[in-house]
Amino acid sequence: MTDAAPATPAERYAVFRERRALAAVQPQGPLALTNTQWIAEEQTVWGVPGRWAPAPAGQGGLVVTADAAAGIHVDGVLVDGTVHARGKDDANPSAIEFDDHTTGFVIAGDDGLYALRVWDAQSEGIQNFGGIDAFDYAPEWVVTGTFREIEGGTVVGFEHLKDDGKTRGEVVPGEIRFTHDGVEYDIAAFKSGRALQLVFADATNGDDTYSVGRFLFLAPNPDGTITLDFNTAILPPCAFSYAFNCPLPPKQNRFPFRVEAGEKNVLAADGSLLH
């Protein structure tokens, strides 16, 4: 006999919190990321063996050169020479293993460059992790807004934490509006798989919550409404590891009020901030 599914919103929230903490310490969870290094020419990568270089034109991904003693495996095969590692933009991306707790994969950038991401299941972040601090469940922060689809979507520029003010165009498929304390807000959420991703800031940032902002994932309802459950607001990956480069909230997503719901900060085992 299995346990009954959580019956109340508060119980479902408790399960959500448990799953978030568990996900943080997975072998390729956010606390495991130790390096993201962009490769423009042949070079070494901090923390792992081999020499890494862009793949030949038309192939995408990276090539790694190493001898068998380095112990690098690409797609389960020991590297002894030069091997092509396909990127995440490929239909069949490569899996890279350096040892029994260090893995990697290749990601694509908007400028045609590729980076090697390195994950360590025994990272300092995982070893020092104490938990994700969060507000108690707050039913008043389950907000109903409206959603109006924009045919073909519109492109909005989002700055990222490490991009020195440059913006990246993200497709915003519709207009989202909601009202708080009698004021209407028109916000931008971009496509993220099947969901919409809202990157927002509020008056708790840098005080009770992570200074950069938080994420909220949404899905429009069939009747033209959209539910913003700020209890499920989560910290961006860059709150867990400096090796991530997170989008920043655009101007219309910077709320002047306090959103006292959702995740606050990543904590170390002694209760201090992990970063």
| For the chain, percent of residues with pLDDT exceeding 70 | 98
pLDDT exceeds 80 at position 89: yes
pLDDT exceeds 60 at position 2: no
Q: Strands 114-120 and 102-108: what pairing?
A: antiparallel
pLDDT in tens, 226-251: 999 999 999 999 999 999 999 999 99
pLDDT exceeds 80 at position 3: no
**What Å distances lie between residue 263 and 9, 152, 176, 212, CA to CA?**
16, 33, 22, 13
Task: Give the mean pLDDT of 98-113.
Answer: 95
pLDDT exceeds 70 at position 133: yes
pTM for this model (two decimals) = 0.92
In degrees and rounded to multiples of 5, residue 107 shows phi and psi of -115, 155
pLDDT-wise least confident of 100-104, 173-177, 191-195, 230-234: 191-195
* pLDDT class of 166 with cuts at 50, 70, 90: confident
SS3 59: coil
pLDDT-wise least confident of 1-5, 202-206, 213-217, 260-264: 1-5
